[in-house]
Every structure is written in structure tokens, then in C-alpha cells.
Structure 1
Amino acid sequence: MAEHHRPPKNRGFYLKMKLLPKHTRPPPEKSCFFRYYKWLLWLSLSLYFFSSCFISNNNPPSNSDSSHKSQSTLLQSTNITALNPSGVLNDLKIFVYDLPPKYNSDWLSNKRCSNHLFASEVAIHRALLTSEVRTFDPYDADFFFVPVYVSCNFSTVNGFPAIGHARSLISSAIQLISSQYPFWNRTHGSDHVFVASHDFGACFHTLEDVAIADGIPEFLKRSIILQTFGVEYKHPCQDVDNVVIPPYVSPQSLRNTLEKEPVNRRRDIWVFFRGKMELHPKNVSGRYYSKQVRTEIWRKFNSDRRFYLQRQRYEGYQSEIARSVFCLCPLGWAPWSPRLVESVALGCVPVIISDGIRLPFPRAVGWEEISVRVAEKDVGKLGRILEEVAATNLSQIQRKLGEGRRRRALLFNDEVEEGDATWQVLEALSQKLHKSYKRVKHQWSVDT
């Protein structure tokens, strides 16, 4: 493998000036007046240069100079720290494995693979390929990204992702990289990163009881998992080093919606929800969907004119979100929902009804400032709770909800942008450098 060379540091430059020429022979004897005149001239020149320097450093530059300087500084900041302001990412380096297409790109023949709610596995991979943190030298890497798309196998029966093949597909990828590279074996995969963007993350099943019974595969328990599933209590499906990420919502679809329904328009829907609401929540498997929360919402508020509730699918439902004041985000089979992202992005206050949910990137988004949390047991009191919010701090919530940085933190772009969802992932990984073999080895060599 070719040795990785880093460019030498810029040492700057200096200018050596000779104010007086050297003489090859002794000068003739000067008069007393000439000697004093020489020193007076020397002193005058010194004072002149000193005062010029002092004045130029203290007087503000002209408008044209100032404009030129600020543009130069901005360009430098953009080029050097666009992805890493103030060194937040700690010079993070990630090596992306180039796996055979059967693990990733072959699945893209179905366009849904890169656009459905589980597509963060595709989006993160794409963004890393052109990211400034990517390194082509694996010996220079802090982390190793393993791009396996496990949510792109859509069932022909119901059209939903079928992830029964996920464990065997990831296991096969690990066998491949561990046989061709030394990096998995030296840490047992602790510095390797995977995406598990479906219902119960690294447990790889859509039903919680089955997911818990299966648990996390042994071969992934040392790795870092980027997963949409997260709760604030102990749960077998998050018993691994993990980063909670948002579900995928297409930025382009949101832009299209905002072109037709700008967020500053009048919102004529007070409370909105469109989605699966079972009249009889216990399905054929004997399980209760949404812990009966959605059924209770339908039963209690279907006839309430303040609530716009729809059980049918509608492709243009984002336009309804953009027209709404409050958007209900109840749990489904899993605690999380793409409505969390869509509501924030379209300026609708998310009403989160999912006990103990752990939300993505809390420091960047500030969920407590832009959302309303309602306990599952209090879902029957929704009308009264939201009336109280509307009468007290709704305008403050909406103002903070309109801050672009919060929206940006939940969206995955084709290329990493400062503050976006992939950038938040990188920031989270930069807090886990204790798992970087390169850093630990370097620290060990320094200490010894």
C-alpha cells in the first residue's frame, strides 16, 4: 500500500533588507557635522517607518479594502472550515469500504430504495463518498463505514421493506472485509460503523417482541450503530454503542411542498394527522398497533371539528402539514415516525405521543423548545392540552421552530453540509474517538 504523505506545513516567508551598503574598504574620515547628520537621518527614517506602521494598523481600511479583505477571509473560512468549524470534528477521518454491488448499489434499481423513510442508509453512504472527512488511506482512518443496504428489499405482498435477510447480508459483508483487510480483526469491529434505519434498529425486526427475542447479532455488539430507534430506558435493541438518527425525508420533496405552501402562510388546520388508525387495534397476530394510541385518537377526536384526521394514504399529505398548526406524531410499531422530521421542516408544531422516545440530535434541534410532549395515557386529553399551549406559548414555539438550523439538522443531503443530518452524525462520531485504533495507538506511544 502506498505511503500516505501529508503536505508540509506552510512556513511563511520573510524579507531581508539592507538599509546601508557594506564597504569593502574603510570609509574616509568624516567631519563631526557629517557624523551627527548621519545619525539624525537614521533617527528620522526610523521614526517615519514606525509611525507609518502604527497608523496603518490603527486606521480602518477604506471600503474597497475592507470588502476585499472580508471576502478573502470568507473564502478561506469556506474552503478550510466549511465542514469543521472551530475544529468540532477533531480532524475526523473515515474510510468507506468499497463493497461489491450486491451489498448496496444493486438495490438502487428500485427507486424507492433511496427515497423511503429508511433511506438514511443510502443517504449517509452517498454523502460520505464526497465528504472532506473521507480518507482513501485506511491506516489514516479513525472509523470504517460499512455500506450495506438492508432496508431495500421490498415485500411483494404488502410493499413494505422486508429485512429478514439483514443479518445474513451484514454477516457476509463482515466476512468479506475481515478476510481482505486487517482492520476489523484488530479491534473486533469496535471502530466500524453500520446503519440500521428501520423499526428496532440493530435487532432487525419490525415487531418489538420478536426483535427483543432475537436481540442484536453477536457480530455487531462491538460496533457503532446509526439507528432511528432509541428510547430513554434500557432496551435490548439499543444495547450497543449507537447514535440515534432521524428517519429519511427527501429534501427535494420538502422544497417542492414549500414552493406551493410557504411556511409563513395562514395555517387553516388546527390539529392534523393522516395515517394508519385502526378501528380495532388488535391485529391478526394478536398484537396491539400503536399501543392503541392511534385508535384512541380516532375514537375521541374524529368528530371534533378542530381535528383534521384522515386514515387514507395521500401522496400530497405534506401540503396538509404545511397548512397545520399542530401535527400529531404518535408511535406506530416503533416509537419514532417520519412525521417528526416533516413537521419540523414544514413549520408545524410536532405533538410527540411516544413514551420514553429518544429523539435524534437533541442538542442541535432543541426538541423541548419546538415540540409538545403528551403521555400516551393522556391522549384523550389532547384537545385541552393543545388549547392550553395555544393560549400560552404557541407563538414562542413557532418562532423557534422557524429557525433554519433545527430543520437542517434533520435532513440528509446528497453532499454533507455544515449542520445537516450527516454532519450531526460526524459530530457524534467525533465524540467517540476513544474507539479509534489510530488515536488510541498514538496516545499509547506518547504515554510510553
Structure 2
Amino acid sequence: MARSLSSLTSFPSSRPNLSELKGLFWIPTGFLLGIYLFIFFHVSSTMKLVVREYPHQTHFYITPKLSSSFNNITSLAADTTTKYVVQVDQPKFIQILHVNNVSEPPLISTPLPEIIASTERNKYSSDDKNARSRRVDQEITKGDKWNKKQEEIFHDRNLFLEDYRQMNASLKIFVYPHKPNHPFANVLLPYKFEPTGNYASESYFKKALMTSHFITTHPSEADLFFLPFSIASLRHDKRVGVGGIQNFIRDYIYKVSHEYPYWNRSGGADHFYVACHSIGKLAMEKAVEVRGNAIQLVCSSNYFLQGYVPHKDASVPQIWPRQGDPPNQPPSKRKTLAFYAGAMNSRVRESLVGLWKNDSEISVHQDRLKTPYHESLLGSKFCIHAKGFEVNTARIGDALYYGCVPVILADHYDLPFADTLNWKSFSVIVSTIDIPVLKKILKEIRFEEYVTLQKNVMKVRNHFQWHTFAVNYDAFYMVMYELWLRRTTVRVY
């Protein structure tokens, strides 16, 4: 029998029915969901190895001696061919990792060193830590009349007080010694007279440090090493001047690294210097290991620029020196909404003055005032810090001293003591792009909110004052606390 054409050309259907498709759908979906959950819990658990609630000290012990300096100790440890151990101490657990057989780093000569990196944290139970915190609070409250309401100006008040006490008890600094008859004693030794001028912070810090209990004459005890050269003094020294600072720093680091072993064993990572003049950011051009490895305590703390590294470096407040207790002017007597006066040396200032120079509530001036400067600070609710050549000026310190709430118009400014202080509790930070709506921003702050800001200014301003002899919690001690948070050491055995 002849087959029909339809029978010759028909094929059995291979398409599954709808119920079969629904069953198959859940197989890959469930598989992918399981993978997702595995990755999520794996990442959540391993993140505890590298993420902590608050930065504390990290110590790297390296042997043998490094052949050259290095900038990134983390990548260095990750690349070594020999075993290294990373120990992370958290309040309730300790993780120890052993890693072997990874690629050789480019900066270490053979034989490769063993690297042991340990992150130290206080090992107390929650009850012990609470009791310790209460004892610290009681001691400080008794000695310094610490107000509980100050808590809002800190990110973590209890942690600050606990660390502050430990810092006072244990932090040690070794200063490279120089005799009074040294040819550059004016650059390397502290001033014998009272520091003055716009960049006095640099001199005040060195003067206070050299007479403090933090100094040790035994390098083996030191957590950090101070490079005592003064950028401001070099700038005014006719033998050096602005054009010769880079050569001076290069030669100084060469001398230190060849006469002492401490720089070479760490590549300068446990060394620091202080500079308040903006020329400091250019001073290290011929000593890049200082900029890359050492802790830079600088007033020009612009994290947008390559020379400043947040969390490694620290911001020092630029403060015009004033003697005596700061004045108290209540909010009711501050009639001007906002005040600014200064030279027109940046687009930010030009924009500020150009837009608001004729306003009846915002008082801005493109030059020095004919009336006393402090009267305008005392009579204003808000005092504007507008970026000039650099992000920093002394105007924040001026505002705080006279009880005026700072308005900060300086993008990319790593504000002083930002690790500790909550700047939003005592200042108004405005992006420079919002200068045209500055008045609207300030007027929208309710009177109750302004009173809180102003009260916090009164509480926080003692942290922004220098003294001939350092006083607890003043600018010197706050800078020392910044060093305490960055006391990373790299030691060779």
C-alpha cells in the first residue's frame, strides 16, 4: 500500500507539555538561589577578617631587611611566596589564617621574608568593657568636668575616652636628636619664643611635643619617629628658601636613613612630620618615600590631590594663636545671618562675594574689614570658611573661638579630627556648587537646630586651641590622638 505524503513528511512532536516546563524551571532557579546564598554567607563571614567597627593599630613584623621601600604593605603580604599569618582579634573570636605558595613580590629581595600581620584590639568581654568605660568616664568627668551631653559631637565618645586614656599612658615618640649648635637648629629645634602667625600650628605642635611625656630617648620603646624639620622655617631661611626645600628634605632623609636603622626597617611607615604651609605638599617631590609611606600631619589636607592620603595622613587645624579664654556670645545677640571677609584668591571666594555682596543678611567682604574682625565673628550666627589657594584657612578656628557656627565651603577637605569628631553636629558643610542657594540653606535651619549647633561649637572649641603648655583635649592632644590611631609599625628582625 502506498504511503500518503502526509505520513512520509510527519515527525513525532518533541515539544514538552506546559506542566513539564514548570517542573524544569525550578531546578536551575533553586540551583542559582543556593549559589547566591552560599556566596552571601561566605562574604559576610570573611568580611569580619578585614572590617572592624573602628580602626586600631596594625603591626607588620618583617625579616630579613627590605631591599627597598614599599607603599602598599597589604599587596606585599598578599604576593609573598613564603608563609604569612594574618591574625584578627575581635571581641568574641580570633581568626588565624596561614597562606602559602603565592607569587613573588617585586619589592623584596631574596630570600623572601616571613610576614606576620596582626591587627590588635582590646580583648575584653562586653561586661568588662562596659565597666572599664564607666571607670574612664568617671575619672575624666571628675578631673575635667566632662559633660555627658558632649556625646553628640563624637562619633563614639566611649571609644574615644578609652583610647585617649591608653594613648596618654603608652604612646611613645622618638625625635631624631640635633644639638643647639647645629647649622639648621632654627629648622630642626622648637622655637624658644611663642609661635605667631597664620602657620603657628606647626610650631605649637613641635614645641608641645618636645616638652611632653610622649617623648622617649630609647628608640626601642618608640611607636613612632618624628622628623623635626619645619617647612615654615625652611621657607623663610635664606640659605634654603622655597626653591631649596625639596633638596633639603631629600638630603635630610638620606642622612637619617644612613645614620640610623629605623627608617630603613619600615621604609618610613612609622615616621611622621608636620607642615601647615601649603608648600609642604611640594616639599616631598624629591623624597617620594616620605609622601608615600610616612604619616603627613598637614593643614592642607585635600584628599582630591595625589600628595595626601586619607587614613594614612592626618589633618591638622590651622589656627591663629590667641591667648586667654574664648568669649561667650549668646545666639540672641548674633544679628547677622552669615559673615565672610578675605582675599579673592579662588573661584569659590569670587563666586561667594559676587553673589552675596549686596545682601542685607549675609555680610561678605572681598578684603580686610575696616572694623575689628572679632566683632563680626561675635555678631554673626554663621561664619563662612571659603576655600582659597588651599582647602584650609584659619577661619574655622576663628569661628569656633568666637562661638560662631562654621559654614564650610571647601570641597574635598579632609576636616581636622574627622576620625573622632562629628562635624555635622557643630558646623554646616555646603558644596561649593550650592553657593547660589546658600542663604536658603541657612534660613531653613530652624532656630532650635541652630541653638544646638552653637552649643556644640562651645563644647568642641577647646579641641581647636593651642596652648604654651598643652592642656588635656586641646589641639596638641587631639593631634596626638590622630597619631595614636595611625601608629602602624613595620619592624625588621
Check if 1:263 corresponds to 2:318: no
Check if 1:246 corresponds to 2:317: yes
Number of residue pairs the alignment of both structures matches: 331
Contact 2:224 2:271 in 1 (8 A): yes
The letter of the residue matching 1:175 is Y
Would the alpha carbon gap of residues 86 and 388 (structure 1) be closer, same or farther in structure 2, given more than 3 Å must change? same
Contact 1:201 1:237 in 2 (8 A): no
SS in structure 2 opposite 1:114? coil
How big is each residue's C-alpha offset from its partner over 1:155-191, in whole Å with a ceiling of 9 and x where there is no partner?
A: 79xxxx9633322222232233334322223323221
Q: CA deviation at 1:421?
A: 1.8
**Identical-pair percentage:** 26
Partner of 2:244: 165
Q: What is the 5 A alignment of 1:16-415?
A: 86-89=165-168, 91-99=170-178, 101-103=182-184, 105=186, 114-152=195-233, 163-199=242-278, 201-204=280-283, 217-233=288-304, 235-239=305-309, 241-252=312-323, 255=324, 258=326, 262-264=328-330, 266-277=333-344, 289-290=345-346, 292-313=347-368, 316-391=372-447, 393-403=449-459, 406-415=460-469
The letter of the residue matching 2:335 is D
Q: CA deviation at 1:369?
A: 0.7
Report the TM-score, using the length of structure 1 for normalisation: 0.65
Contact 1:142 1:436 in 2 (8 A): no
User: What is the CA–CA distance in structure 1 between the aligned matches of 2:187 and 2:442, rounded to whole Å?
Assistant: 47
Contact 1:340 1:350 in 2 (8 A): yes
User: What is the CA–CA distance in structure 1 between the aligned matches of 2:176 and 2:188, rounded to whole Å?
Assistant: 17
Contact 2:340 2:383 in 1 (8 A): yes
Would the alpha carbon gap of residues 180 and 116 (structure 1) be closer, same or farther in structure 2, given more than 3 Å must change? same
Q: CA deviation at 1:135?
A: 0.6
User: What is the CA–CA distance in structure 2 between the aligned matches of 1:434 and 1:418, rounded to whole Å?
Assistant: 24
Cα root mean square deviation, aligned: 3.5
SS in structure 2 opposite 1:379? helix
Would the alpha carbon gap of residues 298 and 430 (structure 1) be closer, same or farther in structure 2, given more than 3 Å must change? closer
Bigger strand share: 2
The letter of the residue matching 2:351 is E
Structure 2's unaligned 5+ residue stretches are: 1-137, 144-160
Q: CA deviation at 1:204?
A: 3.6
Would the alpha carbon gap of residues 103 and 368 (structure 1) be closer, same or farther in structure 2, given more than 3 Å must change? farther
Q: CA deviation at 1:199?
A: 2.4
User: What is the CA–CA distance in structure 2 between the aligned matches of 1:126 and 1:83, rounded to whole Å?
Assistant: 26
Contact 1:192 1:224 in 2 (8 A): yes
Contact 1:328 1:353 in 2 (8 A): yes
User: What is the CA–CA distance in structure 2 between the aligned matches of 1:166 and 1:119, rounded to whole Å?
Assistant: 19
How big is each residue's C-alpha offset from its partner over 1:39-86, in whole Å with a ceiling of 9 and x where there is no partner?
A: xxxxxxxxxxxxxxxxxxxxxxxxxxxxxxx99x979xxxxxx99853
Q: CA deviation at 1:111?
A: 10
Would the alpha carbon gap of residues 219 and 400 (structure 1) be closer, same or farther in structure 2, given more than 3 Å must change? closer
Contact 2:269 2:488 in 1 (8 A): no
Contact 1:95 1:145 in 2 (8 A): yes
Contact 1:84 1:418 in 2 (8 A): no
Q: CA deviation at 1:415?
A: 2.9
Partner of 1:425: 479
Contact 2:249 2:283 in 1 (8 A): no
Check if 1:416 corresponds to 2:470: yes
Would the alpha carbon gap of residues 140 and 109 (structure 1) be closer, same or farther in structure 2, given more than 3 Å must change? closer
User: What is the CA–CA distance in structure 2 between the aligned matches of 1:107 and 1:385, rounded to whole Å?
Assistant: 46
SS in structure 2 opposite 1:165? helix
User: What is the CA–CA distance in structure 2 between the aligned matches of 1:86 and 1:341, rounded to whole Å?
Assistant: 26
The letter of the residue matching 2:458 is G
Contact 2:186 2:233 in 1 (8 A): no
Q: CA deviation at 1:106?
A: 5.8
Contact 1:215 1:237 in 2 (8 A): no
User: What is the CA–CA distance in structure 2 between the aligned matches of 1:106 and 1:429, rounded to whole Å?
Assistant: 22
Q: CA deviation at 1:333?
A: 1.2
The letter of the residue matching 1:312 is D
